[in-house]
Amino acid sequence: MKSIWFKPVQVRDTARFSPNTLMETLNIEITEIGPDFLRGRMPVDKRVHQILGMLHGGASLALAETLGSLGAVLTLDETKQFCLGQEINGNHLRAVTSGYVIGTARPFHIGSTSQVWGIDIRDEQDRPVCISRITLAVRDRKA
């Protein structure tokens, strides 16, 4: 299968995106990069709990947006273009109180002015937790 990435990329290459971001705050880490997907995980602990002690839906969407946005950026020549999120949605399917949630992001559309990614978030037993979709605008950098 042909890779969708602008240039070859390894998991270690994504560490530069984390410092001083929500990714760092929530301890989201990229765990795998395939030819057409990006996978990462986030711990479910008090930082991401809602008042009933379960994973907050907004935290699931933070993971989804992180993975979809990072995936989109990695398909571009970053010296010439960047992406901005336009819309995100999520269907929350299962409560999680501890452990990790694992998200897998795959593109539905990689266009010259927009991208649409789907993110499947599962628990450690591979049960669905949240299904999300993000739309991103692709913009040119000014010279």
pLDDT (0 to 100) of residue 1: 85
The C-alpha atoms of residue 62 and residue 36 are separated, in whole angstroms, by 21
Residue with tokens 């933070």: 62
pLDDT digits (tens, 9 = 90+) for 26-52: 999 999 999 999 999 999 999 999 999
The answer as to whether 6 is a domain residue is no
The answer as to whether 111 is a domain residue is yes
In CATH, what number is assigned to the domain containing residue 91?
Answer: 3.10.129.10
pLDDT digits (tens, 9 = 90+) for 86-132: 999 999 999 999 999 999 999 999 999 999 999 999 999 999 999 99
Which amino acid, residue 71? G
The answer as to whether 19 is a domain residue is yes
Query: Percent of the chain, pLDDT > 70?
Result: 100
Size (the chain), residues: 143
Question: Which listed residue (65, 78, 87, 124) is catalytic?
Answer: 65
The answer as to whether 28 is a domain residue is yes
The answer as to whether 30 is a domain residue is yes
pLDDT (0 to 100) of residue 143: 75
Alpha-helical segments (H) within the chain: 22-25, 57-74
pTM: 0.97
Domain total for the chain?
Answer: 1
> Residue 36 is part of which domain span?
11-140
The answer as to whether 67 is a domain residue is yes
What's the rounded mean pLDDT across residues 10-23? 96
Of the candidates 61, 7, 13, 72, the one whose C-alpha atom is nearest the C-alpha of residue 37 is 72
Q: What is the mean pLDDT of the chain?
A: 97
pLDDT (0 to 100) of residue 19: 96
The answer as to whether 1 is a domain residue is no
The answer as to whether 77 is a domain residue is yes
Query: Are 36 and 106 a contacting pair, CB within 8 Å?
Result: yes
- CA atoms 43, 45, 47, 49: torsion sign: positive
Would residue 124 show up in a list of annotated catalytic residues for this protein? Answer: no
